[in-house]
Amino acid sequence: MAWIHLLIASVFEIVFALATNATDGFTRLGPSLLSAAAAAGGIYFLGLALRTLDVGVGYTVWTGIGSVGTVVLGTVLFHESVNGWKILAFVLIIGGVLGLKLSDGGSTDDPQAPAGSEPADRAVVTA
C-alpha cells in the first residue's frame, strides 16, 4: 500500500508544480488554491508512504516521479523545449526510481513497524 500512496503523492506533486507555474506569482486565486491543496495532498500521501518506506527511498522516488511528470507535462501543456540531455536525464531518473523500488525488498506493509524495519520472517539474527 505504501507504493500506491507514494504514486498518489507523486501525482499531487506534479499538479502542485504545474499549478504553481499557472499562479503568476500567486496573484491568480484559482491556481494558487489548487497549488496549495496539491502541496498538502502530496505531503499527506508522502507521509502515509513513509510509514513503511525508508525516507531516502520514498522522498527520492516522490521527487523523481514528480520531476519527470512535471517536465513531460510542462512540455505538452506549456510547450517547453526538450533536447537530448533532458531525455537522457529522464532515463536516468526513471532508472533510479526503478532501482530504488527493486531495492526496497526489506520494507514491510505493517504501519506499526518503524520505517525500514525487517518483517519477522526476514529478521536478521546476530550473535
Q: pTM, whole model, 2 decimals?
A: 0.74
Q: Which pLDDT does position 70 carry in this prediction?
A: 93
Averaged pLDDT, 4-33: 96
Q: What's the gap between Cα 36 and its chain centre?
A: 17
Summarised one tens digit per residue, pLDDT across range 86-101 is 889 889 988 988 888 8
> Of the ranges 19-28, 83-92, 108-117, which one carries the lowest mean pLDDT score?
108-117
Q: Which pLDDT does position 66 carry in this prediction?
A: 93
- Residue 32 pLDDT > 90: yes
The pLDDT-based confidence of 27 (bands split at 50, 70, 90) is very high
b/e code 9-36 from CB counts within 10 Å (16+ = b): bbbbbbbbbbbbbebeeeeeeebbebbe
Summarised one tens digit per residue, pLDDT across range 35-77 is 999 999 999 999 999 999 999 889 999 999 998 899 899 999 9
Averaged pLDDT, 102-123: 53
Q: Which pLDDT does position 49 carry in this prediction?
A: 97
User: Which grid coordinates belong to 62?
Assistant: 516522490
